[in-house]
Amino acid sequence: MAGCLCPDAHVDTWITADRDHCWHPFTRQGEWEKTDPLVLVGGSGVWLTDSKGRKYIDGNASIWTNIHGHGHPVISQAIKDQLDQVAHTSYLGFANPRASELAERLCGFFPDSGLERVFYSDDGSTAVECAVKMAIQYRLQTGEPDRTEFIAFDQCYHGDTMGAASLGGVGAFFERFRKFGFPVQHVRDLDELLAVSPEQIGRTAAVVIEPLVQGVNQIRPWPEGMLRAIRHWCDQHGVHLILDEVMTGFGRTGSMFACQREEVVPDFLCLAKGLTGGYLPLAATLVQAEIYQGFLGGAEKAFYYGHSYTANQLGCAAALANLDLFEQEQTLELLPEKVDLLGRLLNELAERSDLVIEIRQCGLVAGGELRAPDGSAFPVTDRVGETVCLLARDHGLLTRAILDTVVVLPPLSITADEIRHLCAALEAAINDWSHEQTF
């Protein structure tokens, strides 16, 4: 069968090559090498297909990136059309049509707000990375050279490149690198921010936050009104506000951007994951005109930062199609019903199950926290959340847990029937797990 492209013929060689040569993110490789990984070969709508032909709902939106489903003809066509023109050209010294159009569209979401300059990069981490570096450099060249520190929140996650990682509040990921990064003070909540000393404020360039909901912190929504209060505090103290909407952007929380829910305009807005609908890596950092102006002048004022694939034309074409689809498919208009249904079904599940202690939700982002029937947390080493997610595969659901919180974050294009399937699969997996336990 030379030349046969049917997946099965290759599965074993893919798995062997993975075992021998690949290194996966956030993965205990020692264990990984001993298991047969699921090999994903296809996708259509919210469904993914593995190398054995089994289908699963993409309950984690391919690590929070997918918006309108896989294999969407409009996004696929936009990428193919762009490919017929050119795939990639340097953004260093040249403009390109798709990047120009996209920048205009993105700024168009914030008319008359000053948020009118777009800096492109590749990932969520780099979107934050360049915001942090811009925030520092702006102070250095506008007469506030001592104002170069940051305030971030406990358990926050802003990515893994060094600057973004120095903001991170998840000890297990970031503590060992702490001394190599930018100086950051972590606060727990709004009250602690309001209590920051005048000396510290005098050293602070910017506050950084994931607006409305912290994702990696086991899907934890912030109190209503908090974002607006932070904006007010920043204005009072001349501190910039960096919003990391890498996860919350593009409809996730119910509006196009989470900051719009509290009528807040940031000084820096970091976008990535959903920007291309989950098709290609592309990121954008939107910046206030006033900050941009701080970089005008001689060579010493330029922002010496960039990546080879900055403003990749294929990525920008995908992003434009992604935005078109929000209009064509009325994505935001159809969302409230889906958000309600998901919330209702998950809460009903929690009522039936004495293992689901809490459902946390913000738009089409939800987490169900698992605990023992007596309400105590499971030992971390039991890895209950992870085990439940593995069991869910047998019921046609792919998702991930963060500690013992199972994340439900499907593409926004998910239908009511698919939401029902997802919740039923999750419940079946939890039941499978509990049947094996003796409480």
Q: Give the nearer residue to ligand PLP in terms of CB position, either 46 or 272.
A: 272
Binding track, positions 64-93, relative to ligand PLP; x by CB under 6 A: x-----------------------------
Q: Which is nearer to ligand PLP, 157 or 250 (CB)?
A: 157
Supply the Cα-derived Rg of the chain in whole angstroms.
22
Distance CA 373, CA 357 (A): 9
Residue nearest to ligand PLP (CB): 124
Q: Indicate which single residue of 45, 163, 215, 249 sits in contact with ligand PLP (rule: CB under 6 A).
A: 215
Closest to 118 (Cα-Cα) out of 133, 99, 94, 141? 99
Q: Please answer whether residues 88 and 312 qualify as being in contact, where contact means their C-beta atoms are separated by less than 8 angstroms.
A: yes
**Strand ranges for 175-316 from DSSP E:** 184-187, 204-209, 213-214, 220-221, 240-244, 268-271, 283-288
Number of residues in contact with ligand PLP, rule: CB under 6 A? 15
Give the CA dihedral 347, 349, 350, 354, nearest 10 degrees: 170
Closest to ligand PLP by CB, 38 or 63: 63
Q: Is 58 in the site for ligand PLP (CB under 6 A)?
A: no
Binding residues for substrate: 157, 273, 306, 400
Q: How far apart are CA 362 and CA 258, in angstroms?
A: 10
- Extract the annotated binding site for pyridoxal 5'-phosphate: 124-125, 244, 307-308
Encoded one letter per residue, x for contact with ligand PLP by CB under 6 A and - for no contact, window 311-350 reads ----------------------------------------
Please, what is the minimum distance in Å from the beta carbon of residue 110 to ligand PLP? Answer: 19
Of residues 173, 183, 181, 157, the one with CA closest to residue 245? 157
The candidate with the shortest Cα–Cα distance to 124, out of 244, 211, 210, is 244
Q: Which of 213, 246, 280, 408 binds ligand PLP (CB under 6 A)?
A: 246
Q: Contact with ligand PLP (CB under 6 A): which of 124, 169, 294, 363?
A: 124
Residue 158 near ligand PLP by CB under 6 A: yes
Q: Which residues bind ligand PLP (CB under 6 A)?
A: 64, 123-125, 128, 157-159, 210, 215, 244, 246-247, 272-273
